[in-house]
A and B are shown apart, each in its own frame.
Chain A
């Protein structure tokens, strides 16, 4: 090929670069614009909007818009606001790497339809969402045949393209997307033979168990696992077995379910590859970065929001985090870095599996998100150090606990270096 000299890399400068054009990233971009920052939003797909574009069921926006919208309606509202905010954005643009040059200079290297760009920014808001867990991560073996989809893939096929991926379906895992897709298959005339869940309780919200499975007489096999997928070209059947309390297969309990399609809904993991490469500290419990109350990672000026931070069960929380990260980015740009604080650790107490953020200042209002390890009824959710205590009829791992602490809460703190979230049974 004959060229006219070298392929020039264009260099651009922004206050903040938002990576990821889903709900968290869009909300973050809008907020940074409201605060007067020069922002660039980057998305690798050809449209902005992220996952809600394919979520045609209601349940979105109950907190944020105080209205029950479908995912598609929710994201369109947010997109309209983004257009109003006149945010610069790039679609079909792939982030190749992030470089942490110094406190005030980060580089996002991207490949865009108009060439390779080197985008410099003082702050980055990382909102790349999550990826679906793969079938090999959950120990399902067997033939590599046609007809195996993740729940998200099935959703794209059915609810964007209008294609039914199969007629006789087994769903592995009972996360919300899996339950919602089981209903979609049933509504479109397929037979959902079973939803197979290894744990003794469902992975998704109870509302979805009732309205997606019970309504359509779809059996939920708790304490079961799919051991093997069998087929020649296309899935022909799966082998299912019971598991004991240590989730080990009980020999002799195997049985077959004939089907032509397997849907894997094994949960989500934060997408953090680019952050890991630059050494951002990761919390094994959330799978996302360790953050302070501005949702700033261990690399100053790099913020994270949405499912890349922690797997949320409501889009409203992802948006809230996007806005929180944007406030952080604004403060960083204005003050040449976030004010240094004596950080208070947020510690996991009894029956708490994960919490974000991990550090707070105790000076400003803060929202804590937590999940329990085990379902439990009749409990108090407590933070003893700040005298916080609310009663709950029940907690479940699938339902995130959201706690808002106001500056008043910190006035009479009984510890100066930690607060503990815990769940305790009511006597």
Chain B
């Protein structure tokens, strides 16, 4: 059994939730509405996050392209993604939605900025 304190982020009330976890059973206190329980369940049993960063681009009108996970990934995957991203360099042009890394932690990493190619003279 363990006890945790979370802040519900589902609305501006930001209730402080006291969560008691026993195996996969959880009890939630301090929520003002049922959405707090849902949030606590998700956060405790399977917390997920978007990961975002920038990747270097060669011959672009911008030096980097921004990237994000297509869907949120399990929290423990964050560092694996960051390590992979650090190794990459792209070549312009890059369009929004281009896949930068395919199939990592159950999702893809996609480009979120348009980088046009600058033709070198």
Chain A residues with a Cβ under 8 A of chain B: 53, 56-58, 69-70, 72-73, 76, 158-162, 187-189, 205-207, 209-211, 215, 375, 377-378, 392-396, 398-399
Beta-carbon contacts of B38-53 to A below 8 Å, as 1s and 0s?
A: 0000000000011111
**B32 and A210: CB pair below 8 A?**
no
Which residues from chain B contact A57 at a C-beta distance below 8 Å?
A: 50, 52, 68
B8 to chain A, nearest CB (A): 8
Which residues from chain A contact B58 at a C-beta distance below 8 Å?
A: none
A71 to chain B, nearest CB (A): 9
18 A–B contacts from the bound complex (CB under 8 Å): A56-B67, A56-B113, A57-B50, A58-B50, A72-B66, A72-B96, A76-B114, A160-B54, A162-B54, A187-B52, A188-B53, A211-B49, A393-B11, A394-B12, A394-B15, A394-B32, A396-B12, A399-B12
Out of A70, A378, A399, name the residue touching B66 (CB < 8 Å).
A70
**B9 and A162: CB pair below 8 A?**
no
Nearest residue (CB) in B for A399 is B12
**B51 and A187: CB pair below 8 A?**
yes
The 6 A-B pairs at the shortest CB distance, nearest first, are namely A394-B13, A393-B13, A56-B66, A206-B14, A399-B12, A162-B64
Which residues from chain A contact B117 at a C-beta distance below 8 Å?
A: none
Q: List residues of B (8-67) whose CB comes within 8 Å of A's CBs.
A: 9, 11-15, 32-33, 49-54, 56, 62-64, 66-67
**A206 and B7: CB pair below 8 A?**
yes
A205 to B15, CA, bound (A): 13
A115 to B65, CA, bound (A): 33
Which residues from chain A contact B63 at a C-beta distance below 8 Å?
A: 160-162
A109 to chain B, nearest CB (A): 30
**A377 and B32: CB pair below 8 A?**
yes
A158 to B54, CA, bound (A): 8
**A73 and B112: CB pair below 8 A?**
yes
A58 to B7, CA, bound (A): 20
The reply to whether the CB of B78 lies closer than 8 angstroms to some CB of chain A is yes
A160 to B60, CA, bound (A): 12
> Of B7, B15, B52, which is in contact with the most chain A CB atoms at under 10 Å from its CB?
B52
A421 to B60, CA, bound (A): 50
Which residues from chain B contact A377 at a C-beta distance below 8 Å?
A: 13, 32
**B78 and A187: CB pair below 8 A?**
yes
Nearest residue (CB) in B for A159 is B54
> Are A210 and B7 CB-contacts (below 8 A) given A70-B66, A158-B54?
yes
Chain B residues with a Cβ under 8 A of chain A: 6-7, 9, 11-15, 32-33, 49-54, 56, 62-64, 66-68, 75, 78, 82, 96, 112-114
**B64 and A160: CB pair below 8 A?**
yes
Q: How many A-B residue pairs have CB under 8 A?
A: 91
> Are A56 and B32 CB-contacts (below 8 A) given A72-B113, A187-B82, A392-B13?
no
Which residues from chain A contact B66 at a C-beta distance below 8 Å?
A: 56, 70, 72, 159
**B54 and A394: CB pair below 8 A?**
no
Q: Given A159-B66, A396-B14, 8 other A-B contacts at CB below 8 A?
A: A76-B96, A158-B54, A160-B62, A162-B64, A187-B82, A393-B33, A394-B12, A394-B14
A210 to B7, CA, bound (A): 7
**B52 and A393: CB pair below 8 A?**
no
B92 to chain A, nearest CB (A): 14
A398 to B12, CA, bound (A): 9
Which residues from chain B contact A70 at a C-beta distance below 8 Å?
A: 52, 66, 68, 112
A42 to B35, CA, bound (A): 45
A395 to B32, CA, bound (A): 13
**B13 and A207: CB pair below 8 A?**
no
